[in-house]
Amino acid sequence: MREPIQLPLDQAELSADLGGGLVRRTVHPSGLRVLTERMPGARSASIGFWIGVGSRDEQAERPDAPGSLGSTHFLEHLLFKGTPTRDAFTIATEFDRIGAEHNALTAKEYTCYYAKVRDVDLDVAVTMLSDMVANSVLDGEEFETERGVILEELAMAADDLADVANERFFEAVLGEHPLGRPIGGWPETIKEANRADVDRHYRDRYDPSTLVVTAAGAVDHDKLVAQIVAALNASPETRWHTDGSAAPVRRTQLVDTAVREAASLDSAMTAEPRVQITERPSEQLNLLIGTHGFSANDPHRFAYGIMNSVLGGGMSSRLFQEIREKRGLAYTAYSFGASYSDSGLFAMYAGTAPEKAADVIELSRVELRKLADTEISADELERALGQIAGSTALALEDSDTRMGRLARAELGSGELFDLDTSLERFAAVTPADIREVAGILAARPLTVVAVGDASRSSLSAHG
């Protein structure tokens, strides 16, 4: 069985063939890491500036920093609002002038600022993103304007009951663990946020040791490294200068052991099953039924992926067939896993009429239990492997996917899998392995989150 490409932090240069694309990696003495994948025939490139810091790394609320929660997402917004040489309109205009697809995202364990451009415009994208990430001024007036924008963003999410159910599920299952908090913070923390606190977050967390730049498509690795280093050295902020020496930071080094032990996920394993209800006027109840899952590097992760495919990964999956096709209880029914460096979640979702909610919950539990009690058929295993292989191969046709694959490997596991190496791992999974994974999940107390007009259902909150 082929092995993934190892990404040791103490190796300055690396190059490898990743299924037809040449991958190169540079670890600069400053801690900066640059990874590229050249895609033959590409006339565009995707580039991302990734900071290995997400919402889970924010400090908990305390008297001297009441707005600290949500500061990672707040900062993401502000980096589009101006540098010493460009105001917000200029940043928007320069990206629009080259037809770039550009944006940013905040996740629980990282933040990314990215663009997809024609090959001839990659230099412009690098210049723009370098300036934004290293030199943002966090203008006070823009700060107040963006506070309003973020509050509207949170309000928009609050009107999407599936989004609300997802946030409630994280809170219900993970409790006080930092991963249980919403990425964008709460309206009250955004209202209380102050510029000095977000600026401190920026200066404490953003520097070459936490920065990973990845690019895929039509990209020249050496040219890209030189351009990024030059841009950082030109920053008026000396913390970005690359003449110093620093160890690059990977996710496992950021997880605070004391915090992990204080908010142990295992502490909830023995809790009684609970039902959490959020009343909202609606025609449907949005249901999430699940428990703790597996971390991103858990040895069970390949069996877990196949189990999710069989249980709720498509129109032929067990949940879709039993809940929708055979009984007509829901339009949408699926399962998913969310995996992080040291923990994860597993959930089954359905949107259904409140009067049918109890039946949907019971069917979901039964299907999970069946997977734990009886090995799947050879046909189901073959179908799941085909679904995973096909969807992964199609996704890798896009330079965005390849750019993100490089970053997540670098920031997380330190192992880079090409398509064939990954599929070998899935192909090695046996029905007994899948049954074992389902058994682990089925043995854990389930949490049910319901968002909608639960007064019309037989559900009651408890636990």
Strands 285-292 and 447-452, sheet pairing: antiparallel
DSSP 62: -
Polymer length of the chain: 463
Which residues contact residue 283 at a Cβ distance below 8 angstroms, ignoring those fewer than 6 apart?
Answer: 353, 452, 453
DSSP 374: S
Indicate the SS3 state at residue 214.
strand
Of the listed 58, 76, 146, 410, which one is catalytic?
76
Nearest to 134 by CA among 222, 250, 232: 232
Q: Exposed (0-12), middle (13-18) or buried (19+): which is 268, by Cβ within 10 Å?
A: buried
Indicate the SS3 state at residue 279.
strand
Strands 13-18 and 21-27, sheet pairing: antiparallel
Both tokens of residue 330? 């829901």
**Structural contact between residues 285 and 276, judged by C-beta atoms closer than 8 angstroms:** no
Question: Does the annotation mark 76 as catalytic?
Answer: yes
**Structural contact between residues 206 and 136, judged by C-beta atoms closer than 8 angstroms:** no
C-alpha to C-alpha distance for 341 and 338, rounded to whole angstroms: 11
Q: Would you please indicate which residues are annotated as catalytic (active-site) residues? A: 76
